[in-house]
Amino acid sequence: MEEKTNYEKDLASIRNLMERSVKVISLSGLAGVMAGLYALAAAVYVYFQVYLEQISRSRHYFDDNPEKIYHLLAVALITLLASVSTGLYFSHRKAKRVGTSLWNSSSKRMVINLIIPLVSGGAFVLIILMHGYIGLIAPACLLFYGLALINASQNLFDEIRYLGYLEIVLGIISSIFIGYGLIFWAVGFGVLHIVYGVLMYRKYDA
């Protein structure tokens, strides 16, 4: 009888070890929550800066106000930097708590898999911006971000893959409703991050 529990325990611990060796367990749910809050704050700010003027849906708005583009790019960059650094902070804290390092075999692989679609998407977004297709920026961001998440999901908790699917669906819908990009962007990067962050935090961090 004693042996039975031993073999079962061995198998269970091997399964657990295999999973831990692949997944980035240090990624904290709080990173997602904070990234979502920053995204919502940025979206509200941009809404009052640009959308409130109610001319954003005209394609020539930015031709007449080129400085607005730089303004928006600066907001986007600050949001990105704030999200990444806060994410690193919370993940570093969690890594310390669970006794692993932030920068290990699986997190390296995860970052590489995440960055390739993300950088391609970033370049693509800058190019469509250059051509003046402002309305396609939010859909492109959502689509490439979703693809990046799915690409990196092999080394992340399973739920992240579904977040990726949702981002892609949002991206496609928002490319139909040009002019409402900011709202879709706020849902995809704000609301979904907060919802997923809370779910992940309750499941894996607590």
Partner 1 sequence: MKNPFDYLDKVMGHSGRLQIMSVLAANDSYDFTSLKELLQITDGSLATHIKALEREKYITVNKSFVDRKPSTRYKITEKGRTAFKKHIDALNELVKGQRGR
* Interface residues toward partner 1, by CB under 8 A: 3-4, 7-8, 10-11, 14, 17-22, 99-101, 104-106
Between 69 and 102, CB nearer to partner 1: 102
CB of 163 to partner 1, least distance (A): 23
Between 154 and 175, CB nearer to partner 1: 154
Query: What are the tokens at 135?
Result: 């309305």
Between 14 and 55, CB nearer to partner 1: 14
Instruction: Specify burial of residue 81 (Cβ count, 10 A radius: 0-12, 13-18, 19+).
Output: exposed
CB of 107 to partner 1, least distance (A): 9
CB of 105 to partner 1, least distance (A): 4
CB of 158 to partner 1, least distance (A): 15
CB of 13 to partner 1, least distance (A): 8
Between 65 and 101, CB nearer to partner 1: 101
CB of 93 to partner 1, least distance (A): 17
Between 6 and 54, CB nearer to partner 1: 6
The phi and psi torsions of 102 (rounded to 5 degrees) equal -70, -40
Between 21 and 58, CB nearer to partner 1: 21
- In a 3-state reduction of DSSP, which class is residue 180? coil
Instruction: Specify burial of residue 18 (Cβ count, 10 A radius: 0-12, 13-18, 19+).
Output: exposed
Instruction: Specify burial of residue 152 (Cβ count, 10 A radius: 0-12, 13-18, 19+).
Output: buried
Closest CA to 170 of 206, 195, 204, 139: 139
Query: What Cα–Cα distance (Å) separates residue 122 from each residue in 3, 77, 135?
Result: 56, 11, 15
